[in-house]
Every structure is written in C-alpha cells, then in structure tokens.
Amino acid sequence: MSNKIEEKKYGAENITVLEGLEPVRKRPGMYIGDVGQKGLNHLVYEILDNSVDEHLAGYCNHIAVIIEKNGSCTVIDDGRGIPVDLHKSGLPAVRVVLTTLHAGGKFDNETYKTSGGLHGVGSSVVNALSEYMSVEVSRDGNIYKDTYERGKPTTKLVKGKLPVVGKSKHTGTRINFSPDPEIFTHTKFKIDWIKSRLHETCYLNPNLHIHFEDLTAKTPEIIDYCEPEGLIAFIKELNKGKKTVTKEITFKGTVDKTEVDVAIQFIDAFEENILGFCNNIYTQEGGTHLVGFKTKFTQLLNSYARQLGNLKEKDENFTGPDTRNGMTAIVAIKYPDPLFEGQTKTKLASQDVTKQVAQVVGEQLERYFDRNVEDVKAMINQAEKSAKIRKAEEKAKTNLLSKSKFSFDSNGKLANCISKDASECEIFIVEGDSAGGSAKNCRNRNTQAILPLRGKILNVEKASMDKVLANAEIKTMINTFGCGFSEGYGNDFDISKLRYDKIILMTDADVDGSHIDTLLLTFLYRFMPDLINEGHVYVSMPPLYAAITKGKPNDKEYLYDEKALIDYKKKHKDGTYEIKRFKGLGEMDPTELWETTLNPENRVLKRVEIEDARVASKVTEMLMGSEVGERRDFIYEHANEAVLDW
C-alpha cells in the first residue's frame, strides 16, 4: 500500500473568478458583518448613509424611510438624484453604481467632501443581497426607473438608456428593496434599531428632516425627526432623568479640513458614556478621534486640578477614567478621507485625527475652563470621588483575583473540564444544584464545565461596587472565567486569559429562568462587555415538550416552543402520542439533558449580540435600574408583545 498522498491536479482551470456582485452573495459577511439581524438592518443604513451624504454635500434636506406592508424598505431623498446619463462603460451611471463594487461618487473629492459611504460598495451590496430592488431617479424633469432581482438588472434599456416613467419638477432618489430570504436567517427589520439610527442622524445634522413610517404594525407608526439644537439636544436626551453637575458644554473647530463637533456634560453618577462619530457613522469600537479627545481632556483636567490646589505637588495625577467619571460626551467629526477598520466602520483608524481632535479640544476647552471655574470644580470633584473609590477597590480587586492562583472555584461546586485548550472548552452556568447534578453526569468531561449557581445573582445595575465584589456567585464567575473584569474605575479585563470559548447560560424555560438569564446578562454586559462583543456568550434553548409515540418510549421528538407543539399535533392523530411537559432542567434525566441541551450535534444555542450599544445601555438601565416610572411606561407600551408561559 503506497504511503504517497494522491496528487490532485491544480491548474488554471481551478481558479474561480467571481463576476459582478457574485462575491457579495458568496461571502455576505465580508460586506455587512453577518446574515442575522445586525446584517439585515445594515442594509437600511447603507442606503440611508448615501442620502445623508447628499445632505452633507449641501443638496438634500429631507429623507423618508418607510418599512412597507410587505416588509420591504423604501428610502427617498430630495438630493440631486443618482446620475442616469451614460457612463464610459456604456451603461447608465445609476446601473453602474448599483451593479459594480467600488463604483460611486465618493472617490471624487469634488463631489463629496465628506462621506460615510467611502468604499463604493454600499448600494451595490444591498442590491446583491436583495430579492428585489427598484430605483427611481428624478433628474432633468424626468423620472427614470430601473429594477433588479438578486443584483441582476431586469429593466430593458431603450437605446442604452433607462426608460422614463414620469415627469417631476423635483430631484432625488427613491430606492425600494426586499432582503433575500436565501441570504438572511430572517427578513424582518428591527424597527427600534432603525428609529434610534434615524434620530441619532438628526442630532448630528441639525438641518436635516427625516420622516419614518412603519406600515407593518397593526397601527402604522409615523414619526418625524428633526433636532435643530443638534448635539445639545442629544446630550439632554442621554442625560434625561439624571442629576447633572455641569451645564451642557458644546464647541466646534476645524483643523486641516477636519471638522470637530463636541458636546460634554457631567452627571452625579459613577459612569462614563462617550459616543464617537465620523461622517455620521457611529464608531461603536471608538478609534483615533476618541483617543485624541480623552488624552487631551485628561491632561487639561489634571492641569487645572493642580492650578486650583486639588492636587498637591506630591499627589499622583488622576487617571483617565477618574477624569471622565460622570461624563457624557459626544465627539463627532467630519473628515475628508477616513480609514476604518472593516467595511462596517466600527472603529476609526486614521492616525492624524488624534492630533487634530486634541488640538480643537485643547483650544476650546481651555477657553471654556477659564470662564467657567465652577464647572471645572464640579468635574474635579467627580474625579476625586473616583480616585478615592478606585484606590479602595484596587485592594478589593487584588484580594479577589489573587485567590484564583490556587483555586478559581470559591464555592466548591465547579465541575471543570479536562482540556486546558480554551478554544475547545465551554462552561454552562446552570440554575441550581438539581440541574447542575444532571448536567455533571451527562456532559462531555473533556470539554464541558458545569457551574451551578445558588438561585438568582445580585442585580448589579442597582448595587454598589462593594456589594458586587462581596457577592459569592459573582466572585465565583469572575475567578472561573479567568479574565478579570472592567467597570468604572479601571480595567483589569484581559480576554486572552479567558478559559472557555463559550459561556452558555442554561436555565429553565420559564419566567424564573428568564429572570436569571437577564441578571446574568446584565452582569456580563456591565462588567465583561467584550465577552459579548466578541461572541463568547450564549443562551441555551432547552425544549418545552417531548412528544412520545404511544407504546414506543424511545420514539421521541423534542419540541422547543408552543408553535412546534401546535405543528406536531396537526401532523399526528390524537391518541397516538403523549406530550411530556418539562417544567425544569432538573426534571430531565441525564440522557434527555444531553440529547437536547448539551450535545453540540443537537442542541439549540442563541448567541448574544449587541447591535446598538447606546440602545442596549439605555434599555438595561431602564429595565434593571432603580427608576420605576420609565420601566412601568415601557411595560404598558409593550405588554401585548410579551410571550407568556401558561
């Protein structure tokens, strides 16, 4: 028997060239991040950003975003309209834009001085990932129309030109698209995310009007957004209901064609909320503009603290987090040629922006500080509170984390896995000893760890830091995960030390289980947000029922929700089966628990993701915080959407 590996022919014929928009349909995640809810909503933002770019260029004041009854999306603007004359390729320019990657007006600095859509792939990517798209362009007194199916044109050209379907005294573009169900896991847009994005866009562009309609709702929702106060209104909204300790501080400046617009206000709370934008794009992961802002602010506040005598000669400077304790800030820049990390533009990487932002912040804030000493004193007071608590808690952190050198299971109930390779390991956070015992008996001991919790953990949204660090269950999780935590006054978190690739919340499929999931997610979101951001947190979906064929106890089908139960009953005759209702994981025998919830081949997991950090933070605070009124209003408004477990 030959030991040679069979040689496979590899030549020019094996090289595949994907034409047109084929690469997008083949690898959609490269262009929109994923094919779940986040990627789906990103389609709306790509088309919206093109209309906003027309506003930035000075040609568009009104945009309409409509979610149609059939679930498609329509975006209309009163800009110049995408060009329809013949391109040098021999096609109408609008067709070139919608069918060719890296084609558009954003590469011409004369057409768009600043733009959020700089890669030239936005509209064409949306076209490629849509089951259907139509575009109507109003220019030169006419309305021109083109249509596409999965990125391919379906409108016949008339002597190389688009057909004229009407007359118009106005200019603008109307695009309607329907996401392709062959690409996306589902095609229903997340309306709250869209509304948040539209409102935010108006805060950043005080002269822009955006009209929104959701026609899929039982009662159509219609909202008009316009924020003439700009960032001041944005700051007021972010701090609504909170005790403020300074006025709203706003200033602008321009350095080397980079426009910097900043708003700051301090509140009486131990938190920091800084939002960064570049050309209207929210940079969720921050970037060089925020580095410039934070660095200069910390330098200035330390300088004034020494001038005013709060810091003596021998005192160490306040840390960056100290100086930003209680800060709400928005840093919005308009930059001619930004460099982002990734197509979805979550982090700004342009290096020269750091110095440009720092220069504007230094000049403008120093002028403000000289004229508003009381506000400066209030900021320094916040920093002093932070520094005092930070120093006290550094000792508590040291005591907490040092225990993990010898044993990282403080309650003695962790059933760890054998493997030390984090990439193949997973840990199940289990509700109670009963379910924990079953899980320990049926797990894969090589790669699966089980950590039972004693009931419901502390609600960290309401608790002080000393109570959080004193909580036995929370200390156990921090030590078990191995990567530390970050919150408020510093950052000991190091994701490279994470011991498990998957952290899976495994609770009963009832109200108590959902409450425990919510408490755990609140803890992870506030203290270890990178675990969620980098896709390490999951929620298990145990079945609600088992349908067992009468007389055949091994002929069993697991049903994960009420709809599955209804569908099963429709397909099977009464009397031929029995339905077993699982009231909790502890009632499952080890075999059932393995088959349904632990076995990677069969189980159903939901990965926890955050699309909009601002919305997530606000909802977390509202649902889990101390203020009852806003939570009550939310429950009244969304009561009909609740899923009840009878």
Long-range contacts of 450-454 (CB under 8 A, 24+ apart): 450/414, 450/415, 451/409, 451/413, 451/414, 451/415, 451/427, 451/476, 451/477, 451/480, 452/413, 453/429, 453/516, 454/411
The pLDDT assigned to 115 comes to: 52
Instruction: Give the mean pLDDT of 165-193.
Output: 93
Residue 611: inside a domain:
no
Q: pLDDT category, 67, cuts 50, 70, 90?
A: very high
375 and 423 in a single domain? The answer is no
418 and 320 in a single domain? The answer is no
For 400-440, the three-class secondary structure string (H helix, E strand, C coil) is HHHHHHCCCCCCCCCECCCCCCHHHCEEEEEEHHHHHHHHH
Based on the residue annotation, tell me whether 431 is a catalytic residue of this protein.
yes
The pLDDT assigned to 199 comes to: 95
Range with lowest mean pLDDT among 444-453, 490-499, 636-645 = 636-645
Residue 240: inside a domain:
yes
595 and 477 in a single domain? The answer is yes
Residue 401: inside a domain:
no
The pLDDT assigned to 533 comes to: 83
Say if pTM beats, i.e. exceeds, 0.75: no
The pLDDT assigned to 20 comes to: 63
The pLDDT assigned to 4 comes to: 44
* Among 434, 118, 522, 127, residue whose Cα is nearest residue 280: 118
Which of 155-164, 394-403, 425-434, 449-458 tops mean pLDDT? Answer: 155-164
At 583, the amino acid letter reads K
Identify the CATH number of the domain in which residue 589 sits.
Answer: 3.40.50.670
Which residue out of 46, 375, 508, 611 is catalytically annotated?
Answer: 508
| Total tally of structural domains belonging to the chain | 4
Which of 1-15, 64-78, 402-416, 444-458 tops mean pLDDT? Answer: 64-78
Residue 634: inside a domain:
no
Which residue out of 53, 180, 200, 431 is catalytically annotated?
Answer: 431
Does 488 score more than 50 pLDDT?
no
Task: Report how far Cα 122 is from the mean position of its chain's Cα atoms.
Answer: 19
CB-CB contact of 544 with 565 (8 Å) = yes
Residue 371: inside a domain:
yes
Place of tokens 């980079």: 258
Does 398 score more than 70 pLDDT?
no
Which residue out of 512, 557, 561, 587 is catalytically annotated?
Answer: 512
Does 626 score more than 80 pLDDT?
no
Q: pLDDT category, 389, cuts 50, 70, 90?
A: confident
Residues 317 and 16: their CA atoms lie apart, in Å, by 59
Instruction: State residue 225 phi and psi, 5-degree precision.
Output: -105, 130
Q: pLDDT category, 72, cuts 50, 70, 90?
A: very high
pLDDT tens by residue, 212-268? 999 998 899 999 999 999 999 999 999 988 899 999 999 999 998 899 999 999 998
**Considering 178, 203, 225, which residue would you say is the last residue of a domain?**
225
Range with lowest mean pLDDT among 3-17, 76-90, 242-256 = 3-17
Give the range of the structural domain holding residue 564, as residue numbers without chain letter: 543-578
Q: pLDDT category, 2, cuts 50, 70, 90?
A: very low
Residues 515 and 455: their CA atoms lie apart, in Å, by 11
The pLDDT assigned to 3 comes to: 45
The pLDDT assigned to 404 comes to: 45
pLDDT tens by residue, 605-619? 888 877 655 555 555
Does 410 score more than 70 pLDDT?
no
**Residues near 587 by beta carbon (within 8 Å), at least 6 away in sequence:** none
Does 407 score more than 90 pLDDT?
no
**Considering 209, 225, 241, which residue would you say is the last residue of a domain?**
225
The pLDDT assigned to 583 comes to: 74
CB-CB contact of 21 with 124 (8 Å) = yes
Range with lowest mean pLDDT among 121-135, 386-400, 411-425 = 386-400
257 and 288 in a single domain? The answer is yes
Whole-number Cα distances in Å, 380 to 318, 327, 374: 9, 12, 10
Does 642 score more than 60 pLDDT?
no
346 and 385 in a single domain? The answer is yes
Does 12 score more than 50 pLDDT?
no
The fraction of the chain above a pLDDT of 70, given in percent, is: 83
Does 61 score more than 70 pLDDT?
yes
| Average confidence score pLDDT of the chain | 83
In Å, the largest CA–CA distance within the chain is: 89
Residues 97 and 83: their CA atoms lie apart, in Å, by 9
93 and 66 in a single domain? The answer is yes
93 and 204 in a single domain? The answer is yes
47 and 186 in a single domain? The answer is yes
Q: Say if strands 545-549 and 327-334 run parallel, antiparallel, or are unpaired.
A: unpaired
Instruction: Give the mean pLDDT of 297-325.
Output: 92
Residues 538 and 202: their CA atoms lie apart, in Å, by 35
Does 644 score more than 80 pLDDT?
no
Residue 169: inside a domain:
yes
CB-CB contact of 286 with 530 (8 Å) = no
pLDDT tens by residue, 18-48? 456 777 888 887 788 788 888 899 999 999 9
pLDDT tens by residue, 130-149? 999 999 999 999 999 999 99
297 and 256 in a single domain? The answer is yes
Identify the CATH number of the domain in which residue 302 sits.
Answer: 3.30.230.10
The fraction of the chain above a pLDDT of 90, given in percent, is: 44
**Considering 334, 367, 393, which residue would you say is the last residue of a domain?**
393
At 254, the amino acid letter reads T
CB-CB contact of 116 with 281 (8 Å) = yes
Based on the residue annotation, tell me whether 510 is a catalytic residue of this protein.
yes
Instruction: Pull the structure tokens for residue 142.
Output: 């006419």
For 161-218, the three-class secondary structure string (H helix, E strand, C coil) is ECCEEEECCCCEEEEEEEECCCCCCCCCCCHHHHHHHHHHHHHHCCCCEEEEEECCCC
384 and 460 in a single domain? The answer is no
Instruction: Give the mean pLDDT of 272-281.
Output: 89
Range with lowest mean pLDDT among 60-69, 196-205, 595-604 = 595-604
More confident residue, 513 or 329: 329
293 and 188 in a single domain? The answer is no
Residues 149 and 131: their CA atoms lie apart, in Å, by 5
Three-class SS of residue 13?
Answer: helix
pLDDT tens by residue, 331-344? 999 988 888 875 55
Which residue out of 85, 182, 192, 510 is catalytically annotated?
Answer: 510
In 3-state terms the chain splits into helix, strand, coil percentages (rounded to 5) of: 40, 20, 40
Instruction: Give the mean pLDDT of 542-553.
Output: 86
Residues 189 and 39: their CA atoms lie apart, in Å, by 10
Instruction: Give the mean pLDDT of 369-384.
Output: 94
Place of tokens 């921050």: 286
Instruction: Give the mean pLDDT of 432-451.
Output: 86
Q: pLDDT category, 397, cuts 50, 70, 90?
A: low
CB-CB contact of 334 with 114 (8 Å) = yes
At 70, the amino acid letter reads N
Residue 638: inside a domain:
no
Residue 619: inside a domain:
no
Place of tokens 């909170």: 242
pLDDT tens by residue, 420-429? 999 999 999 9
Range with lowest mean pLDDT among 187-191, 298-302, 505-509, 510-514 = 510-514
Helix (H) or strand (E) holding 249: strand 249-255
159 and 83 in a single domain? The answer is yes
Between helix 613-624 and helix 628-638 the angle, nearest 10°, is 110
Which of 94-108, 415-429, 466-480 tops mean pLDDT? Answer: 415-429
